[in-house]
């Protein structure tokens, strides 16, 4: 069972992920943008560049800084993650991440 990540509204806490395919870290070098989705509400790295960082860390590292998310209430969510790159312009559904918004 995956652990539940926490998002503290109004805070600078991060969610640090290591994205893997078949247990191997995957390069995010060709990623152009990404989306996180909460109950049908989509937030894009295009409009919220400070919330997403996949270029600073090691291979496969994604840091999400989602304390500035607006329009969602406290509670438990299955946060969707969609990655886009030059070869996958319709996006790759990376699945969901259990999160608790506080």
**pLDDT computed for residue 52 by the predictor:** 97
* CA separation, residue 37 to residues 5, 16, 24, 34, 57 (Å): 14, 17, 25, 10, 23
Average the pLDDT over 76-99 and give the result: 96
- pLDDT tens track for 8-66: 999 999 999 999 989 899 999 999 999 999 999 999 999 999 999 999 988 999 999 99
Architecture of domain 5-101: Sandwich (2.60)
Assign 76 a pLDDT band (cuts: 50, 70, 90).
very high
Q: Distance of CA 12 to CAs 9, 78, 98, Å?
A: 8, 21, 19
Q: Give the pLDDT score at 57.
A: 86
Q: Which residues contact 82 (CB under 8 A, 6 or more apart)?
A: 34, 35, 36, 37, 91, 92, 93, 94
Residues sharing a CB contact under 8 Å with residue 102, sequence separation 6 or more, in sequence order: 6, 7, 8, 9, 74
Q: What is the pLDDT of residue 47?
A: 92
Which distant-in-sequence residues (6+ apart) come within 8 Å of 67 by Cβ?
7, 8, 9, 10, 11, 12, 13
On the question of pLDDT at 1 being above 80, the answer is: no
Residue 37 and residue 79 in contact, taking contact as beta carbons nearer than 8 Å: yes
């Amino acid at each position: 069972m995956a652990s539940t990540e926490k998002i503290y509204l109004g805070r600078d806490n991060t969610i640090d992920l290591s994205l893997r395919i078949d247990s191997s870290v995957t390069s995010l070098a060709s990623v152009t943008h990404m989306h996180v989705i909460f109950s049908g509400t989509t937030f894009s790295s295009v409009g919220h560049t400070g919330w997403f960082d996949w270029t600073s860390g090691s291979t496969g590292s994604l840091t999400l800084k989602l304390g500035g998310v607006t329009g969602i209430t406290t509670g438990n969510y299955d946060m969707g993650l969609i990655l886009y790159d030059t070869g996958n312009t319709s996006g790759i559904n990376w699945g969901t991440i259990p999160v608790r918004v506080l």
